[in-house]
């Protein structure tokens, strides 16, 4: 399959139609909770963060409360969270900078200035705040899915985001989160290619079919 001939904006429409505007798997209740959970979720599973979130927010319900904490006071509420000590420090610093929930930034430029928030995290926060996209979400699932489809040649998140932003119009940049959902449900480390709605344009699936035909000969 010659992936260079694929019209990706058109090819990705079924994926966008299925997942566009679907809420992120983090079970947050407001923007403050969203920001905290996004910071905690880096390199940790969303289900782990969802599990510890109610206990955390019962004690630290908003930015003013969190601003009064020390990182060490957060530790008991972050069981199972990877790099919890660093994340606790980042969260307290963020709260002390922002001070109030209503002052949470709503631009990528301002979000990435906060400790523990990079482009991916900022893109997730903006998406869930229903702000216009300023980039494309590239998480570990997209890093797996995009090269398999043939959209990207490597697994560098920055290069994948740049490629997606280049080939897709801005109103389709939610394709990043759509690919993330696909990676969570279908395009797993051991993919379910036969039931994937993208298998008709997928370079990985095309290679599997070719190998299968060759083995039959």
Q: What radius of gyration, in Å, describes the C-alpha atoms of the chain? A: 19
Burial class (CB in 10 A: 0-12, 13-18, 19+), 169: exposed
- Given a cut of 70, is residue 3 above it in pLDDT? no
- Residue partners of 86: CB distance under 8 A and separation at least 6: 116
Residues 1, 203: contact at Cβ < 8 Å?
yes
Give the domains, in start order, of the chain with CATH numbers: 31-128 (1.10.340.30), 136-209 (1.10.1670.10)
pLDDT digits (tens, 9 = 90+) for 25-63: 999 999 999 999 999 999 999 999 999 999 999 999 999
Least confident of 3-7, 107-111, 167-171, 173-177: 3-7
Residues 203, 148: contact at Cβ < 8 Å?
yes
Mutual orientation of helices 119-128 and 31-41 as an angle, nearest 10°? 150
Separation in Å, CA 198 to CA 126, 168, 172 = 26, 17, 16
- Given a cut of 90, is residue 21 above it in pLDDT? no
Q: Give me the pLDDT at residue 4, please.
A: 53
Residues 26, 37: contact at Cβ < 8 Å?
yes
Distance of alpha carbon 24 from alpha carbon 34, whole angstroms: 10
With H, G, I as helix, E, B as strand and everything else as coil, classify residue 46.
Answer: helix
pLDDT digits (tens, 9 = 90+) for 140-176: 999 999 999 999 988 899 999 999 999 999 999 999 9
Full-model pTM? 0.92
Average pLDDT, the chain: 94
- Residue partners of 57: CB distance under 8 A and separation at least 6: 29, 33, 36
């Amino acid at each position: 399959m010659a992936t260079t001939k694929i019209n990706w904006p058109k090819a990705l429409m079924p994926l966008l139609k299925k997942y566009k505007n679907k809420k992120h798997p983090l079970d947050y209740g407001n923007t403050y909770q969203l920001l905290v959970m996004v910071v905690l979720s880096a390199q940790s599973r969303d289900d782990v963060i969802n599990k510890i979130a109610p206990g955390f927010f019962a004690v630290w319900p908003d930015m003013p409360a969190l601003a009064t904490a020390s990182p060490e006071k957060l530790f008991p509420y972050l069981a199972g969270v990877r790099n919890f000590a660093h994340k606790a420090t980042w969260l307290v610093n963020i709260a002390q900078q922002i001070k109030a929930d209503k002052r949470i930034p709503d631009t990528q430029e301002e979000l990435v200035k906060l400790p523990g928030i990079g482009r991916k995290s900022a893109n997730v926060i903006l998406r869930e705040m229903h702000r216009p996209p300023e980039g494309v979400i590239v998480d570990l699932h997209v890093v797996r899915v995009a090269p398999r489809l043939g959209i990207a040649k490597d697994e560098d998140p920055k290069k994948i985001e740049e490629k997606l932003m280049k080939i897709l119009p801005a109103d389709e940049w939610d394709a990043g989160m759509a690919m993330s959902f696909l990676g969570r449900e279908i395009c797993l480390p051991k993919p379910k290619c036969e039931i994937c709605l993208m298998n008709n344009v997928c370079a990985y699936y095309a290679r599997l079919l070719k190998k299968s035909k060759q083995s039959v000969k």
